[in-house]
Structure 1
């Protein structure tokens, strides 16, 4: 899955003081087209990558915290989202293309290297960027998605071999025309935010392997209790303007990325790293039903500093538990 934060500096956190560090917004030219970028603060760079369905605004609370800690927070609308470059062809959404976008944004901002932070698809692409370009990304924070080295077989083929063709949610989202399922953003965004979070009763939460517990069931509330209304309204407006095809292209391109990364088979991430996840997140529960040990996680990331399991938190970790994520993130930045 994946998600966004708003035009107000209050999103995802308690109202900040009147001395909140100003947010700078601009369009920068990357290799293939323009990208919408937010910046806040000065100092060593921290680059934030969002997932589906979101925009750079999802990181406003984290950007404020990082800026206050003496860093230059940078977040972009990823390819296919918001005001950024959005080609129609799903073959242009592989991790190689996204890594190129991220490097181009750093270049446009005259940033030599950055700590990279990603959530959902943003975590997947941040991991690939760190793997491919360790010269530009000096540390990694993965939220909701642990890093797994490339194996011999496409992970989606393994799921198909287990007979999950009709069960696993991402297969439907990868199909042409899947955007029609989400078309009414006024309904689909609140549904996704609610059902993937820890707000519903455990038996009713989204399950990526159970089509009956799908993400697009009508939500009982317009705004979950943990979400700022400005954040929700911004996200709805963004997808009313762009539609969902760009974001869904990441699902379609997944197997293409596997094909193109044969040279990285078995490669591990060597940079200092942190993994943060919500215990109530259906995706995390699928990826590791039991809490993985640090020793297990360090097989893929030898310099993983820690993993942080957040109780009573679902998929939208940076919004559901903004303060806890901010504390973990700033502590990690000061440690590396």
Structure 2
């Protein structure tokens, strides 16, 4: 979600125009605790709706509806009598259902089965741990053929290795993680023939400032992220290139009214985007995104009533209505966070 929001802010800076439009999401809760989220466009017409409910057996069901109230599909989470977790994903348009079933045997080994609408195996992931603590994830296909495997192990010094194997059990790649006596963590990525591909080094100085260094196959700096916090609690993440040139930075701060502010700067140190989150005395939250010239690009206000229902209005300066619909879903759907 945080990564998506970062990309969203950059995207909005480029694409937004000057036509104010209002979109809304309304959330209501009935006496059984079931929730309904309704997405409406600038004309108050329904774009989509989602209901979340729990049946008498404790199964959790999320149902999706379209603009005309038509059933699009559902996701159902349940458990069988043996405690296996089952997730059913149904697509009403194609009338297809995919089932994901996860079970654990008496030795703690876990199996995740992917089944089609006829109950036939599509694929499986089996996870087991041997007596040395080596964890193996084996991916197999519909006919039990081996597709990929991942092995995770830790040596006596606490160094970790993640080994990726192909269908023949041969090394496809590896990630080795080690920490030196100064607390510097290094992740070394190697290929099938042990050739170095990339490495990442993470360190923290005596002031608590963190540096993440990205190195290429020759051990040369490709980029770096430096994170520091000043005496006022303002956190700054600065991204630099191979020669130390600034690519961009992000600042997170809280003002005297406890409003949270995220500011994104370009390589010239100029403000690219700003997102401000504030909560009023009634607990209503407002989130505002401004562009590089201070113009408001997008704002969200969530109002909670005394019955536990809430409504969110989105004011967007954007002529691309499809984009705004997607942005609302991306920013406000709690399942994406």
Query: How high is the TM-score relative to the length of structure 1?
Result: 0.23
Structure richer in strand, relative to its length: 2
Structure richer in helix, relative to its length: 1
Larger Rg: 2
